[in-house]
Amino acid sequence: MRALAAGGLAACLLLSMTTLSAADDVAPGLAEDAVCDDASNELAALVASLDEADRRKLQGIYVAVDPTVTDVAALPGCDDDGDYVVVLSRAMLELVEHVAYADASDRIRGTHVLDAYGPLLARAQRLDTRTLPPPPPAAGDQASHAPLGPYPRAFVQDALAWLVADEVARAVRGDVTCPHPTSTREHGDDVWTADERAQALLLAPARMTRGAESDAWATLVVLGQGRSLLPAVTLLRVLAPLEEARPPGGASTYLTLHPRTAERIDTVLHAATAWQGTRPPAGDSSPARTRMR
């Protein structure tokens, strides 16, 4: 199987986050398939944005969806054929969708669901149970209670772009080295097996020791693609209270392998500010080629 002054920072993020990527919404019944396709498409777009040496290194890389719906996870790995993979669990994909819905409710209805979502997870989420959905709007929110309808796919896609780039960074840097990367896909590549999952989890701690560098690189790549960072930062802000709460039974795989969420948010914001100061002049249409050093 294969932390800066708030004023300057706010100005930077206003420029880089306010416009989400253009995308169609998706009917809820199709969301599960669509979000998997979106993750794979984001990986392909990321690889295409890299220079030739890094593209060649990552030939054949693909997204492997871990079927678990109770463990939020994202990590780099190799499949049993020696190909690079970015592993995203169903629980992670579901969490991204939950955060997208909460964000849409706040923007469209004027609610404060996102403010309540992280504390809800910190208070009530338990390991090995399905990720809780966002809470309903508070009684004081002046909101329509009509269904929001299709989830905002653009938010999901931009969140996935950053999540995927954060794991690819480790392969580009060489923290993850797979023995036989090839562009040839095999019959079993659509299934992420229990043995492959166990091997990826066993090796992940040693592969993920330079988290701040990966976070910064992922931020620069996403901005270089003209994407919004708002979804990624929003996702991390939802996760921060959960990490601080240290829930019974332990943390999810994602928080175990990607600790210090508050520091990670600072890293992303610093990198965004630095990028804003070095971006090319308006009208420069040269492609962004970002290489890990």
Question: In this structure, is residue 138 part of a structural domain?
Answer: no
Question: In this structure, is residue 284 part of a structural domain?
Answer: no
Question: In this structure, is residue 169 part of a structural domain?
Answer: yes
- Strands 74-78 and 84-89 turn out to be antiparallel
Q: Please give the mean pLDDT across all residues of the chain.
A: 82
Question: In this structure, is residue 291 part of a structural domain?
Answer: no
Query: Can you give the pLDDT at residue 77?
Result: 94
Which residues, 6+ apart, have CB-to-CB distance to 184 below 8 Å? Answer: 60
Assign 54 a pLDDT band (cuts: 50, 70, 90). very high
Assign 32 a pLDDT band (cuts: 50, 70, 90). low
Q: Is there a contact between 83 and 61 (Cβ–Cβ < 8 Å)?
A: yes
Mean pLDDT of 40-59: 93
| 214-261 confidence digits (pLDDT tens) | 999 999 999 999 999 999 999 999 999 999 987 667 789 999 999 999
Question: In this structure, is residue 246 part of a structural domain?
Answer: yes
Question: In this structure, is residue 232 part of a structural domain?
Answer: yes
Query: Can you give the pLDDT at residue 122?
Result: 93
**Residue 123 clears pLDDT 60, i.e. is over it:** yes
167: containing domain: 6-131+149-278
Q: Which one has a higher pLDDT value, 8 or 267?
A: 267
Rounded CA-CA distance 133/252 in Å is: 16
Question: In this structure, is residue 293 part of a structural domain?
Answer: no
Instruction: Please state the domain count of the chain.
Output: 1
181 alpha-carbon distance from chain centroid: 23
Give the number of C-alpha atoms closer than 13 A to the C-alpha of residue 283, restricted to the C-beta side.
0
Rounded CA-CA distance 242/244 in Å is: 5
Question: In this structure, is residue 10 part of a structural domain?
Answer: yes
| 142-167 confidence digits (pLDDT tens) | 666 655 655 588 999 999 999 999 99
